[in-house]
Amino acid sequence: MTGRAEDAAVQVAGLRMSFGSAEVLRGVDFDVRYGEVFCLLGPNGAGKTTTLEILEGFRVPSAGRVRVLGLDPAAQPVKLRERAGMVLQECGFPRQARVAELIGLWRTYYRDPRPLGELLEVVELTEVRNVQVRKLSGGQRRRLDFALALAGDPDLIFLDEPTTGFDPEARRRCWAAIENLRGLGKTILLTTHYLDEAERLADRIAILRAGRIELAGTLTEIATRAGLATRISFTTPPALLRRQVPPPDGIELACRGTASVCHTPNAAGTLRLLLAWAAEHGLGDLDGLAVTAPRLEEAYLSLTAAPGLSRDPA
Partner 1 sequence: MTRTIRLAARQALLEQRSFWRSAEYALFTLAFPLMILLLIGAANTGAHLPGTGIKNTTVFVPGILAFGVIVAAYVNLGSKVAVLRHDGVLKRIRTTPLPPRAYIAGLLASTVVTAITITAATGLIGWLAFGAAPRRGQVPALAGALVLGTVCFAVLGLAVSAVITSAESAGPVAYASFLPIAIISGVFDPTFSGLPDWLSRLVAAFPVKSLAEVLQNTYAVRPFSAWDLADLGAWTAAGAAFAVWRFRWHT
Contacts of residue 219, Cβ cutoff 8 Å, sequence gap at least 6: 199, 202, 205, 293, 296, 299
Shortest distance in whole angstroms from residue 91 CB to partner 1: 4
Length reported for the chain: 314
The answer to whether the beta carbons of residues 133 and 94 sit under 8 Å apart is: yes
Could you tell me which of 207, 201, 156, 135 has the C-alpha nearest to residue 174? 201
Site string for partner 1, 38-77 (x = CB under 8 A): ------------------x-x-------------------
Which residue among 26, 29, 110, 196 contacts partner 1 (CB under 8 A)?
A: 110
Member of 82, 196, 203, 297 binding partner 1 (CB under 8 A): 82
Question: Least distance in Å: CB of 229 to partner 1?
Answer: 43
Which one of 105, 254, 268, 290 is in contact with partner 1 (CB under 8 A)?
Answer: 105
Minimum separation from the CB atom of position 104 to partner 1 (A): 9
Residue 90 binds partner 1 (CB under 8 A): yes
Smallest gap, in angstroms, from Cβ of residue 181 to partner 1?
16
Does residue 91 belong to the site contacting partner 1 (CB under 8 A)? Answer: yes
> Do the strands 156-160 and 84-87 form a parallel or antiparallel pair, or are they unpaired?
parallel
Q: Is 81 in the site for partner 1 (CB under 8 A)?
A: yes
With contacts defined by CB under 8 A, name the span among 61-69, 105-113, 186-194, 227-235 that binds partner 1.
105-113
- The stretch near partner 1 (CB under 8 A) out of 21-29, 42-50, 122-130, 144-152 is 144-152
DSSP for 167-226, written as a single string: -HHHHHHHHHHHHHHHHTT-EEEEEESBHHHHHHH-SEEEEEETTEEEEEE-HHHHHHHT
Quick one: which of 227, 204, 228, 229 has its CA closest to 217?
204
How many C-beta atoms surround the C-beta of residue 104 within 10 A? Answer: 16
Among 78, 185, 249, 314, binds partner 1 (CB under 8 A): 78
Closer to partner 1 by CB, 22 or 78: give it. 78
Stretch that binds partner 1, among 82-90, 191-199, 223-231, 277-285 (CB under 8 A): 82-90
CB of 166 to partner 1, least distance (A): 18
Q: Cα dihedral sign for 2, 8, 9, 14?
A: negative
- Member of 2, 95, 112, 305 binding partner 1 (CB under 8 A): 95
Nearest approach, Cβ of residue 76 and partner 1 (Å): 11
- Return d(Cα 128, Cα 270) in angstroms, integer: 52
By the rule CB under 8 A, 21 interacts with partner 1: no
For residue 19, give the 3-state DSSP assignment: strand
Residue 271 Cβ vs partner 1, minimum distance, rounded to whole Å: 49
Q: Which of 161, 225, 154 is nearest to 187 (CA)?
A: 154
- How crowded is the C-beta side of 212, counted as CA atoms within 13 Å? 3
Is 112 a binding residue for partner 1 by CB under 8 A? The answer is no
How far apart, in whole angstroms, are the C-alpha atoms of residue 69 and residue 83? 8
The Cα 286–Cα 44 span in angstroms is 45
Backbone angles phi, psi at 252, to 5 degrees: -90, 95
- Cβ at position 88, least distance to partner 1 in Å: 7
2 makes contact with partner 1 (CB under 8 A)? no
Give the interface with partner 1 as residue ranges (CB under 8 A).
56, 58, 78-79, 81-82, 85-86, 88, 90-97, 101-102, 105-106, 108-110, 132, 148-149, 152
